[in-house]
């Protein structure tokens, strides 16, 4: 029998614990607790702390996992579009689809009372996403850097805020919201 290197075993165990935490967050959202996560993993809280340092460390690892996945989905949507409007629709749609698919994860990331570390990482993620959009806007439209940055960060904030509202807005479909936000970005407010 071949021995597994200690570091590989710790990494695999850490991923198993993150999987358990993920299941609880998907069920409980922002009220997920370390005790419930430890129970789901079949361990005690001290063992959970040993792997992540503290609650903030666990929340940060989950936030990394969630935001990394979302960023990959958003980048794929941006690259798949046929034209500017199609890219916007696909990207807004991908963001809202992630919220719709995992509403408790979204709530955990943005509204957890004890997840200040996760929320800090979400802010970092939204800044990175805004900067990436700004870079693309600047390159595609040839607008000055300040305008590109304002637009990129403004779009991210608008879609995030609309997503927050949408989670609590019964009867509003994702496709409808995607269309409304896309129309807004393409000048509907100025022509209404």
Quote the percentage of the chain above a pLDDT of 70: 93
pLDDT at 130: 94
DSSP string, 18-44: HHHHHHHHHHHGGG--HHHHHHHHTS-
pLDDT at 6: 53
Distance CA 163, CA 160 (A): 5
Distance CA 31, CA 180 (A): 32
pTM for this predicted structure: 0.86
Domain covering 6-191: architecture: Orthogonal Bundle (1.10)
Alpha-carbon Rg for the chain, nearest whole angstrom, is 19
pLDDT at 123: 86
pLDDT at 115: 56
- Token readout for 150 is 């304002």
pLDDT at 113: 65
Whether the Cβ atoms of residue 104 and residue 31 lie closer than 8 Å to each other: no
End-to-end alpha carbon distance in the chain: 71
Collapsing DSSP states into helix, strand and coil, what is residue 178? Answer: helix
pLDDT at 3: 53
* Unique residue bearing structure tokens 């949408």: 166
pLDDT at 82: 87
For the chain, which ranges sit under pLDDT 50? none
pLDDT at 170: 83
Distance of CA 47 to the CA centre of its chain: 27
């Amino acid at each position: 029998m071949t021995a597994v290197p200690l570091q590989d075993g710790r990494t695999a165990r850490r991923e198993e614990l993150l999987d358990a935490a993920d299941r609880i967050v998907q069920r409980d959202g922002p009220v997920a607790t370390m005790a419930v996560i430890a129970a789901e993993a079949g361990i005690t809280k001290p063992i959970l702390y040993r792997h992540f340092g503290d609650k903030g460390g666990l929340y940060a690892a989950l936030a990394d996992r969630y935001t990394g996945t979302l960023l990959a989905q958003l980048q794929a949507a941006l690259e798949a579009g046929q034209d500017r409007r199609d890219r916007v629709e696909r990207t807004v749609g991908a963001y809202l689809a992630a919220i719709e698919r995992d509403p408790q994860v979204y709530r955990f990331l943005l509204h957890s009372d004890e997840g200040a570390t996760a929320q800090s990482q979400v802010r970092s993620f939204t800044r990175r996403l805004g900067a990436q959009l700004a870079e693309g806007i600047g390159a595609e439209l040839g607008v000055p850097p300040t305008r590109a940055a304002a637009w990129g960060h403004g779009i991210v904030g608008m879609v995030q805020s609309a997503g927050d509202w949408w989670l609590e807005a019964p009867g509003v479909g994702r496709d409808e919201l995607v269309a409304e936000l896309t129309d807004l970005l393409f000048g509907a407010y100025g022509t209404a």
